[in-house]
Structure 1
Amino acid sequence: MKFLIIIPAHNEEKNLPFTLDSLQQQSFKDFTVVVVNDGSSDGTSGVIKRYTESDFRFETITLQKSSHQPGSKVVAAFKKGLETKNLADFDIVCKFDSDIILNENYLQKIADAFAENPDYGLVGGLLYLEKNGEWVYEGNSNKNHVRGPMKAYRKECFQEIGGLRETLGWDNIDAILLKNSGWKEVVIPELQVKLIKVKGADYTIKPADYYGRYFYFLGLNRFLTYIAAAKEASKAKSPSFLMQIINSYEKCRSQHLELKISKKEQKVINDERWNQFKKKWFKI
């Protein structure tokens, strides 16, 4: 197994060394890392240079500064890194964030999982955050979903689903599409990935607007969107939050904003969401 690891990085001077150090300390050594310096204005380039000059497995490209949009920016940077390599030379394609710390056996465990299970398409660990001096499970998603900061795809699966989409919701779109294609998404609980920075902390988009846009770009129809919006409003204990999410979603619809998924893929996503809803609430 040979890994291709793409790491988008924007102003990560303080966090990136932890990520790259944890990669250098891996027990599994057969990997190539491409760090995509996405318009950084701090000392990120200097950090990257230290690794590329001392370790042949580390490479980099530099992009011009672009606006920070949830989802689309990081995937666009990832794709630029991907373009520098020939996928035929690799077995596993990884999209890692620039502010995570991996166990020293992380890549080895991922490689073993793929080697022993030919139907595994996407594998990862669980995210942990530091609270009061201890690392605790993040808890933002179910424990069967591989989160965006540490995605590892079997190359054939990655190619079959058409790679990653430059859109909000990309890290759920991939999971639904690969499942529809017969691949499995697998979380290995003992692989604890330390997340140094809380995701979304530097986004300027408001929570209600985020959810409305997320449901739209995920391709959800009105019925499923309203159900999902009601769920979020219930968690927030705010009826007004429901209307704010719906207004954001309807605004996107009225503007006919471009989706990064086909009509066929949109149907697959809606069908999967509907099946999840029936299974959870009606035990069907």
Structure 2
Amino acid sequence: MAICADAPFVTPPEVSPRVGPFVIVTPAHNEETFIEETIRSMVRQTVRPLQWIIVNDGSTDRTHDIVASYAARYPFIRLVDRHRQGERHFGNKAHAFNLGLRQCDVAALSFIGNLDADIALEADYFEKVLQRFEQDTRLGIAGGMVRTRIGDQFISQDVALDSVAGAVQLFRRECFEQVGGYRPLPLGGIDSAAEITARMKGWTVRTFPELCVLENRRTGTATAPPLLSRVKEGRRYHSLGYGFLFLCLRCLYRAMDRPRILGSLAIFIGYVRGLVSRSPILLPPDTVQYLRGEQQAKLRQQLKSLVVGKPS
């Protein structure tokens, strides 16, 4: 898959004439290792955002300098510096994203998107995503299938098709406004909270597997080793209101994901820690009720499939 090849830079249109203007916001904290690849894949897009706002979120490395050098060359790139205190956590990402979005006239936009700072895209990625929105007026959140670098390979996240990885979520503006945007949740899950709420309000949420996205670092591992990040992932599932049975079966289903067995065990431990300590569930009760209803429906569907598929 050829991404970020050393081809000449081009000047594509910065607004899709069919579906209207969009902006992308990228919170970036100490991303000097990967952000230049992300930038190079963005400037090669056949359809660019009206603005790409990169929020330098208190970085102490060369992130600011790298982004500034490209912003000076490409007018659609805008650098915003945010000064913050404290350690890296997912609440900061929401605050940084919201700061970036405040630089725009949101009412004039058709779409609003998040792009993580360690992502590489095919040149026609946004053109194709916008085509999907044009074809379905109830499509509220869309994105491609993320393949994450693990070791020397890119492994598909294999997300459910009614979910979109937070690294590449693109919202129809009306949907974004109805879900209340990204909420600063300290344990993460800002993307999950948005898409659960979107589905609850009747919007379609969809990942398109044919649109491939490369992620250079697994989400949540920037400051934590893989197993600890999985424990945090389990705590996050509890904070979002995941049902216990669904979580257990999900751990079994994902047991062969790397790190095999131990990864799922770590997620389970994190969830149980949240359960036993009675950590608060951070989503509204009606949203949690909807989520658990979705999960129960999926479990019933899986059980039905097993029964129907069982030989007589």
TM-score (norm 2): 0.79
Q: How much has 1:250 moved relative to structure 2?
A: 2.4
Q: How much has 1:242 moved relative to structure 2?
A: 8.1
Q: Secondary structure of 2:54's match?
A: strand
Q: Which residue of 2 is the match for residue 219 of structure 1?
A: 241
CA distance in 1, matches of 2:149, 2:281: 38
Give the counterpart of 1:121 among 140, 155, 176.
Answer: 140
**What's the CA shift string for 1:98-148, capped at 9, x where partnerless?**
0111111111112211122111111111112457866x4423523443111
CA contact (8 A) 1:122 1:146 kept: yes
Q: Which residue of 2 is the match for residue 78 of structure 1?
A: 97
Relative to structure 1, the CA distance from residue 22 to residue 274 in structure 2 (aligned partners, 3 Å threshold; closer, same or farther) is same
- Alignment of 1:210 with 2:229, yes or no, is no
Q: Which residue of 2 is the match for residue 156 of structure 1?
A: 174
Relative to structure 1, the CA distance from residue 247 to residue 130 in structure 2 (aligned partners, 3 Å threshold; closer, same or farther) is closer
CA contact (8 A) 2:114 2:169 kept: yes
Q: Secondary structure of 2:127's match?
A: helix
CA-atom RMSD in angstroms: 2.7
Give the counterpart of 2:211 among 191, 200, 212.
Answer: 191
**What's the CA shift string for 1:148-168, capped at 9, x where partnerless?**
111101001111111122222
Q: Secondary structure of 2:75's match?
A: coil
Q: One-letter code of the match for 2:50?
A: F
Relative to structure 1, the CA distance from residue 104 to residue 269 in structure 2 (aligned partners, 3 Å threshold; closer, same or farther) is same
- Alignment of 1:139 with 2:161, yes or no, is no
Q: Which residue of 2 is the match for residue 200 of structure 1?
A: 220
Relative to structure 1, the CA distance from residue 30 to residue 229 in structure 2 (aligned partners, 3 Å threshold; closer, same or farther) is closer
Relative to structure 1, the CA distance from residue 242 to residue 105 in structure 2 (aligned partners, 3 Å threshold; closer, same or farther) is closer
Give the counterpart of 1:174 among 194, 199, 214.
Answer: 194
Equivalence map 1:205-284=2 (5 Å):
206-207=228-229, 209-220=231-242, 224-229=243-248, 231-232=250-251, 235=255, 237=261, 244-253=269-278, 255=279, 257=280, 259=282, 261-282=283-304
Q: Secondary structure of 1:54's match?
A: coil
Greater relative CO (CA pairs within 8 A, separation 6+): 1
Q: How much has 1:58 moved relative to structure 2?
A: 1.1
**What's the CA shift string for 1:61-114, capped at 9, x where partnerless?**
112243222x32322221121122221121110000001111111111122111
Relative to structure 1, the CA distance from residue 240 to residue 27 in structure 2 (aligned partners, 3 Å threshold; closer, same or farther) is closer
CA contact (8 A) 2:144 2:211 kept: yes
Can you give the 5+ residue segments of structure 2 that lack an aligned partner in the other structure?
A: 1-19, 308-312
CA distance in 1, matches of 2:91, 2:73: 32
CA contact (8 A) 1:27 1:105 kept: yes
Q: Percent identity?
A: 22
Can you give the 5+ residue segments of structure 1 that lack an aligned partner in the other structure?
A: none
CA distance in 1, matches of 2:268, 2:45: 48
TM-score (norm 1): 0.86
Q: One-letter code of the match for 1:142?
A: A
Q: Which moved more, 1:44-53 or 1:192-201?
A: 192-201
Count of aligned pairs between the two proteins? 276
Give the counterpart of 1:8 among 13, 20, 27.
Answer: 27
